[in-house]
Amino acid sequence: MRVSYHGHSVVQVKTKKHTILIDPFISGNEACDLDANTVEADVILLTHGHNDHVGDTVDIAKRTGALVVAPNELAVYLGQKGINTHPMHIGGARDFDFGRVKFTQAFHGSSYTEEDGSIIYTGMPGGILFTVEGKTIYHLGDTALFTDLKMYGEMNEIDLAFIPIGDNFTMGPEDAVIAADWIQAKVVVPVHYNTFPVIEQDPKEYVQRVNTGEARVLSIGESIQL
Protein backbone atom coordinates (compact mmCIF):
# COMPACT_ATOMS: atom_id res chain seq x y z
CA MET A 1 0.00 0.00 0.00
CA ARG A 2 1.21 3.52 -0.82
CA VAL A 3 0.19 6.50 1.30
CA SER A 4 0.94 9.98 -0.04
CA TYR A 5 0.59 13.55 1.24
CA HIS A 6 -0.79 16.33 -0.95
CA GLY A 7 -0.73 19.50 1.11
CA HIS A 8 -2.83 20.83 4.00
CA SER A 9 -4.59 17.68 5.29
CA VAL A 10 -5.00 15.86 1.97
CA VAL A 11 -3.93 12.20 2.10
CA GLN A 12 -4.23 9.55 -0.59
CA VAL A 13 -4.12 5.84 0.18
CA LYS A 14 -3.63 3.40 -2.70
CA THR A 15 -4.18 -0.25 -1.83
CA LYS A 16 -4.12 -3.23 -4.15
CA LYS A 17 -7.76 -2.66 -5.11
CA HIS A 18 -8.83 0.84 -4.07
CA THR A 19 -7.86 4.50 -4.05
CA ILE A 20 -8.96 6.38 -0.93
CA LEU A 21 -8.81 10.15 -0.51
CA ILE A 22 -8.95 11.82 2.90
CA ASP A 23 -10.10 15.46 3.14
CA PRO A 24 -9.56 16.33 -0.57
CA PHE A 25 -9.09 20.11 -0.41
CA ILE A 26 -7.60 20.51 -3.89
CA SER A 27 -9.10 23.50 -5.73
CA GLY A 28 -7.93 26.70 -4.05
CA ASN A 29 -5.14 24.85 -2.26
CA GLU A 30 -1.92 26.15 -3.76
CA ALA A 31 0.04 23.50 -1.87
CA CYS A 32 -1.80 20.61 -3.53
CA ASP A 33 -0.37 18.82 -6.57
CA LEU A 34 -3.56 16.92 -7.46
CA ASP A 35 -6.07 17.91 -10.14
CA ALA A 36 -9.67 17.74 -8.96
CA ASN A 37 -10.79 17.13 -12.53
CA THR A 38 -8.68 14.01 -13.02
CA VAL A 39 -7.87 12.54 -9.59
CA GLU A 40 -9.26 9.05 -9.10
CA ALA A 41 -11.11 7.88 -6.00
CA ASP A 42 -13.12 4.84 -5.02
CA VAL A 43 -13.70 6.24 -1.54
CA ILE A 44 -13.50 9.65 0.13
CA LEU A 45 -13.14 9.85 3.92
CA LEU A 46 -13.95 13.16 5.61
CA THR A 47 -12.98 14.20 9.12
CA HIS A 48 -15.33 17.19 9.34
CA GLY A 49 -17.29 19.75 7.37
CA HIS A 50 -15.00 22.76 7.05
CA ASN A 51 -14.47 23.86 3.46
CA ASP A 52 -10.72 23.30 3.63
CA HIS A 53 -11.39 19.61 4.30
CA VAL A 54 -14.53 18.84 2.30
CA GLY A 55 -12.86 20.60 -0.60
CA ASP A 56 -13.73 19.02 -3.95
CA THR A 57 -15.59 16.05 -2.49
CA VAL A 58 -18.89 16.59 -4.32
CA ASP A 59 -17.36 17.09 -7.76
CA ILE A 60 -14.97 14.16 -7.38
CA ALA A 61 -17.70 11.85 -6.08
CA LYS A 62 -20.07 12.78 -8.92
CA ARG A 63 -17.38 12.17 -11.53
CA THR A 64 -15.96 8.95 -10.10
CA GLY A 65 -18.93 7.48 -8.23
CA ALA A 66 -16.82 7.37 -5.05
CA LEU A 67 -18.47 6.49 -1.75
CA VAL A 68 -18.15 9.31 0.79
CA VAL A 69 -17.83 8.23 4.41
CA ALA A 70 -18.29 11.05 6.91
CA PRO A 71 -19.79 11.98 10.30
CA ASN A 72 -23.56 11.64 10.17
CA GLU A 73 -24.73 15.24 9.71
CA LEU A 74 -22.06 15.92 7.10
CA ALA A 75 -22.91 12.72 5.24
CA VAL A 76 -26.61 13.62 5.22
CA TYR A 77 -25.86 17.14 3.94
CA LEU A 78 -23.59 15.87 1.16
CA GLY A 79 -26.06 13.14 0.26
CA GLN A 80 -28.60 15.84 -0.51
CA LYS A 81 -26.21 17.04 -3.23
CA GLY A 82 -26.68 13.77 -5.11
CA ILE A 83 -23.65 11.72 -4.10
CA ASN A 84 -23.38 8.31 -2.45
CA THR A 85 -22.62 8.67 1.26
CA HIS A 86 -22.32 6.46 4.31
CA PRO A 87 -22.95 8.18 7.68
CA MET A 88 -20.97 7.25 10.78
CA HIS A 89 -20.30 8.82 14.15
CA ILE A 90 -17.73 9.20 16.89
CA GLY A 91 -16.74 5.84 18.37
CA GLY A 92 -18.41 3.90 15.60
CA ALA A 93 -16.52 1.49 13.35
CA ARG A 94 -17.47 -0.40 10.21
CA ASP A 95 -15.80 -2.93 7.96
CA PHE A 96 -16.08 -1.99 4.29
CA ASP A 97 -14.69 -3.86 1.30
CA PHE A 98 -11.92 -1.24 1.12
CA GLY A 99 -10.94 -1.43 4.82
CA ARG A 100 -12.11 -0.71 8.35
CA VAL A 101 -13.08 2.84 9.34
CA LYS A 102 -13.44 4.05 12.92
CA PHE A 103 -14.17 7.64 13.91
CA THR A 104 -12.46 9.05 16.98
CA GLN A 105 -13.00 12.25 18.90
CA ALA A 106 -11.50 15.51 17.71
CA PHE A 107 -11.84 18.80 19.56
CA HIS A 108 -12.65 21.34 16.87
CA GLY A 109 -15.73 22.62 14.99
CA SER A 110 -17.59 21.43 11.92
CA SER A 111 -19.62 23.55 9.51
CA TYR A 112 -19.75 24.19 5.78
CA THR A 113 -19.92 27.69 4.32
CA GLU A 114 -22.03 27.92 1.17
CA GLU A 115 -21.18 30.24 -1.75
CA ASP A 116 -23.80 32.73 -0.55
CA GLY A 117 -22.13 32.89 2.87
CA SER A 118 -24.70 30.80 4.72
CA ILE A 119 -23.26 28.36 7.23
CA ILE A 120 -24.48 24.77 7.49
CA TYR A 121 -23.83 22.92 10.75
CA THR A 122 -22.30 19.53 9.94
CA GLY A 123 -22.19 17.75 13.28
CA MET A 124 -19.18 16.74 15.31
CA PRO A 125 -15.63 16.70 13.93
CA GLY A 126 -13.62 13.51 14.12
CA GLY A 127 -10.39 11.74 13.53
CA ILE A 128 -10.20 8.57 11.44
CA LEU A 129 -8.58 5.25 12.25
CA PHE A 130 -8.32 3.48 8.91
CA THR A 131 -7.16 -0.14 8.87
CA VAL A 132 -6.40 -1.93 5.61
CA GLU A 133 -4.02 -4.68 4.48
CA GLY A 134 -2.95 -5.26 8.07
CA LYS A 135 -1.89 -1.63 8.69
CA THR A 136 -3.55 1.16 10.65
CA ILE A 137 -3.41 4.80 9.58
CA TYR A 138 -4.61 7.48 12.01
CA HIS A 139 -5.64 10.81 10.51
CA LEU A 140 -6.33 13.04 13.50
CA GLY A 141 -8.29 15.60 11.49
CA ASP A 142 -8.31 19.07 13.00
CA THR A 143 -8.01 18.84 16.75
CA ALA A 144 -6.62 20.28 19.93
CA LEU A 145 -4.53 18.12 22.23
CA PHE A 146 -6.69 15.95 24.51
CA THR A 147 -5.78 13.10 26.83
CA ASP A 148 -7.90 10.42 25.12
CA LEU A 149 -5.24 10.38 22.41
CA LYS A 150 -3.22 8.35 24.89
CA MET A 151 -6.07 5.83 25.06
CA TYR A 152 -6.22 5.57 21.27
CA GLY A 153 -2.49 4.85 21.26
CA GLU A 154 -2.91 2.13 23.87
CA MET A 155 -5.88 0.53 22.11
CA ASN A 156 -4.42 0.48 18.63
CA GLU A 157 -1.16 -0.43 16.96
CA ILE A 158 -0.82 2.62 14.74
CA ASP A 159 1.57 2.34 11.83
CA LEU A 160 1.25 5.88 10.47
CA ALA A 161 -0.26 9.02 11.99
CA PHE A 162 -1.02 12.38 10.38
CA ILE A 163 -0.91 15.06 13.09
CA PRO A 164 -1.88 18.74 12.62
CA ILE A 165 0.78 21.22 13.72
CA GLY A 166 -0.44 24.56 12.34
CA ASP A 167 -1.61 26.10 15.64
CA ASN A 168 -4.32 28.81 15.80
CA PHE A 169 -7.08 26.45 14.53
CA THR A 170 -5.55 23.18 15.77
CA MET A 171 -2.83 22.06 18.11
CA GLY A 172 0.54 23.66 17.52
CA PRO A 173 3.95 21.98 17.37
CA GLU A 174 4.44 21.83 21.14
CA ASP A 175 1.16 20.02 21.72
CA ALA A 176 1.69 17.90 18.60
CA VAL A 177 4.91 16.54 20.12
CA ILE A 178 2.90 15.36 23.12
CA ALA A 179 0.25 13.90 20.82
CA ALA A 180 2.92 11.86 19.05
CA ASP A 181 4.13 10.53 22.40
CA TRP A 182 0.62 9.48 23.35
CA ILE A 183 -0.37 7.96 20.01
CA GLN A 184 2.84 5.89 19.78
CA ALA A 185 2.66 5.60 16.00
CA LYS A 186 5.55 3.96 14.21
CA VAL A 187 5.70 6.90 11.78
CA VAL A 188 4.42 10.44 12.36
CA VAL A 189 3.82 12.98 9.58
CA PRO A 190 2.87 16.63 10.27
CA VAL A 191 -0.06 18.11 8.35
CA HIS A 192 -2.28 21.22 8.36
CA TYR A 193 0.48 23.82 8.18
CA ASN A 194 1.71 26.57 5.81
CA THR A 195 -1.46 26.60 3.69
CA PHE A 196 -2.36 30.03 5.07
CA PRO A 197 -0.16 32.63 6.81
CA VAL A 198 -1.91 32.10 10.14
CA ILE A 199 -0.78 28.44 10.28
CA GLU A 200 2.81 28.84 9.11
CA GLN A 201 5.15 26.42 10.90
CA ASP A 202 8.53 24.76 10.37
CA PRO A 203 7.77 21.03 9.93
CA LYS A 204 11.46 20.10 10.01
CA GLU A 205 11.81 21.64 13.45
CA TYR A 206 8.74 19.74 14.58
CA VAL A 207 9.97 16.31 13.47
CA GLN A 208 13.29 16.91 15.22
CA ARG A 209 11.38 17.34 18.48
CA VAL A 210 9.29 14.18 18.22
CA ASN A 211 10.44 11.58 20.74
CA THR A 212 8.30 8.57 19.85
CA GLY A 213 8.53 6.67 16.57
CA GLU A 214 9.98 7.98 13.32
CA ALA A 215 8.87 11.50 12.39
CA ARG A 216 9.03 12.48 8.73
CA VAL A 217 8.24 15.57 6.70
CA LEU A 218 6.61 14.51 3.45
CA SER A 219 7.04 16.79 0.46
CA ILE A 220 3.94 17.45 -1.61
CA GLY A 221 3.20 14.26 -3.53
CA GLU A 222 5.72 12.19 -1.59
CA SER A 223 4.59 8.76 -0.42
CA ILE A 224 5.30 6.14 2.21
CA GLN A 225 5.11 2.43 1.47
CA LEU A 226 3.38 0.45 4.23
User: In the chain, where are the structural domains located?
Assistant: 2-225
pTM of the model: 0.97
Query: Rounded distance, CA 129 to CA 13, Å?
Result: 13
Question: For residue 11, what pLDDT is reported?
Answer: 98
The packing angle between helices 173-183 and 148-155, to 10°, is 30
Mean pLDDT in residue range 205-217: 96
Q: 160 with 186: CB under 8 angstroms?
A: yes
Residues 89-118: pLDDT tens digits? Answer: 999 999 999 999 999 999 999 999 999 999
- Residue pair 114/106 in contact (Cβ under 8 Å)? The answer is no
Count CB neighbours of 27 within 10 A.
13
Q: How many CB atoms lie within 10 A of CB 192?
A: 27
Output the CA–CA distances (angstroms, integers) from residue 36 to 180, 198, 211, in the order listed: 31, 25, 36
Q: How far apart are CA 172 and CA 188, in angstroms?
A: 15
Query: What percent of the chain clears pLDDT 90, i.e. is strictly above it?
Result: 100
* Confidence tier at 37 by pLDDT (50, 70, 90): very high
Q: What is the CATH number of domain 2-225?
A: 3.60.15.10
- Residues 150/120, Cβ–Cβ less than 8 Å: no
Beta strand 187-191 with 214-215 is: parallel
| Strand intervals (E) in the chain | 2-5, 11-14, 19-22, 43-45, 67-71, 85-88, 93-96, 99-105, 111-113, 119-121, 126-132, 135-139, 160-164, 187-191, 214-215, 223-225
